[in-house]
Structures are given as structure tokens and as C-alpha cells.
Amino acid sequence: MRRRQLTALVRKDLRLELRTRETIVAMVLFAIVMLAILQFGFGTRDDDLTRFTGGLMWVTLAFTAVLGVGRSYVAEREQRVLDGLLVSPVPRVVLLGAKAIAIFLYMTAVEIIVIPLVGIFFVKGPYWDSIGWIAIAALLANLCIALSGTLFSGLALFTRARDLILPVLFLPALVPVVIAGAGATHAVVGGAHDMSEWRGYCLFLAAYAILFALVSIATYDAVFDD
């Protein structure tokens, strides 16, 4: 039963996204603009930004995540459908879990474009042979982003000035993800091959995901419980 509900909710989000193509396209464009801005901001003094690759990548992805997460309830809110979901016998954990899965998929879709672009734009030296390691770190980070993002966007949904509230709530919680994502990327990019450092950061990301999964289970039920 729960699986049927979860599948239906995720399928609904993907169908909406496929039909409107609003969120992912906007996220990708935003990320590319962001990379260009970072290049103009940092690159005037230094042509070779290889050693900043991880930072550039994860700052961009963090802000892109805020953008995407901020749109995660936009259909429910603007078309006022949420009551329909809430009056149905779907456990709130399933409702928010489905949203987390959607955010995870959006982030992954964006990274499929952005992570190679970062290599092309910024890295001089080896990059492509460690793209697998970067991808693993990115998937773990997406898990963290999805779990915490779902919670914070649910909290921001019915507040005044929610577009302002979400980054204020979400970005401080993302700082550890940025640190670890950037750290893991640095460990394997531009000739570096420090696998113990990479492993340390990935373990940290896994710990973050587990901790926020626990927080989610404890609090998701209360988010929409008016």
C-alpha cells in the first residue's frame, strides 16, 4: 500500500516535470550562469582554477539545490492541491519521502550536466578518470540535500516570505554538505588521488544522510499536521 502510494506520488512529480519542464531546465540554466559568475569573480587573477574545482562545483550545486527545493511544492501550492493529498490516507512520511525522491532525481539530472561542465570549464589536468568517484560523492550529497531540503521546504511552505525563509533555513544546514562535497572532489581532481580523504568525506556524507533520515522520520509527520 505504502509502495503504491509512494510510486504514485513520485510518478506524479515526474509527469508534471516532464509536461512543464519548469524545474530542471531552470536549475541547469541557473547552475551554468553561476559557474560563469564564479569564473568572472575568481578568475581575473588566476587562469588556472583547478585547485578551486570542488568549491566551485559545490557552491554552485548548493545554490542550485536551494532553487530546486524551493520549487518542490509549487504545483501543490499554486494549484492548491495539497488538501487533496492531506485528506487522503497517505502517511505523511510517504508524502514527504516521495518529495525527497523527486528532489534527489532532479539534483542527479542537473549534475549529469553540471559535473562534466565543471571539468571542461575549470580543470587543467586529469579529471575524467576520477569522474566515477565524484559521482559517488555527488549521489551521497544528493541524498543529504533531498532529506534536509524536503523538511525545510515543507516548513517554509506556509510561512510569509517563504522564498526568503527557505535559503535562510536551508543554506546553514547545507554548509557541511558543501564542505564534504568540495573536499571529496578536491581529493580526486587535477592529479590528486587521496583516496583516504575521499573516503572520509563520503563517510561523513553518509553520516549526514543517516542523521537527517532519522530527523525526517521523527518530524515529517508533524510538518503538515495543522
Minimal distance, residue 65 CB to another protein, in Å: 16
Q: Which of 55, 70, 149, 183 binds another protein (CB under 8 A)?
A: 183
Q: Which of positions 140-159 make contact with another protein (CB under 8 A)?
A: 148, 151-152, 155-156, 158-159
Decide if residue 8 touches another protein (CB under 8 A): yes
Distances in whole angstroms, Cα of residue 22 to Cα of each of 48, 74, 100: 34, 10, 18
Query: If residue 116 lies in a helix (H) or strand (E), which one and from where to where?
Result: helix 92-122
194-199-204 Cα angle (round to 5): 130
Residue type, 150: T
Tell the residue number behind the cell numbers 583516504, with chain if given.
Answer: 196
Tell the residue number behind the cell numbers 519548469, with chain if given.
Answer: 22
CA-wise closest residue to 190 among 62, 56, 52, 60: 52
Nearer residue to another protein within complex by CB, 36 or 214 = 214
Residue count at the site for another protein (CB under 8 A)? 61
Minimal distance, residue 37 CB to another protein, in Å: 22
Q: Which of 44, 80, 129, 196 binds another protein (CB under 8 A)?
A: 80
Minimal distance, residue 64 CB to another protein, in Å: 20
Decide if residue 87 touches another protein (CB under 8 A): yes
Decide if residue 121 touches another protein (CB under 8 A): no
Cα dihedral 166/200/98/149 (nearest 10): 0
Decide if residue 108 touches another protein (CB under 8 A): no
CA-wise closest residue to 125 among 194, 182, 58, 51: 51
Residue 10 Cα to chain centre, angstroms: 16
Footprint of another protein on this chain (CB under 8 A)?
Answer: 1, 4-5, 7-9, 11-12, 15-16, 19-20, 75, 79-81, 83-91, 148, 151-152, 155-156, 158-162, 165, 168-169, 172-173, 175-177, 179-180, 183, 200-201, 204, 207-208, 211-212, 214-215, 218-219, 222-223, 225-226
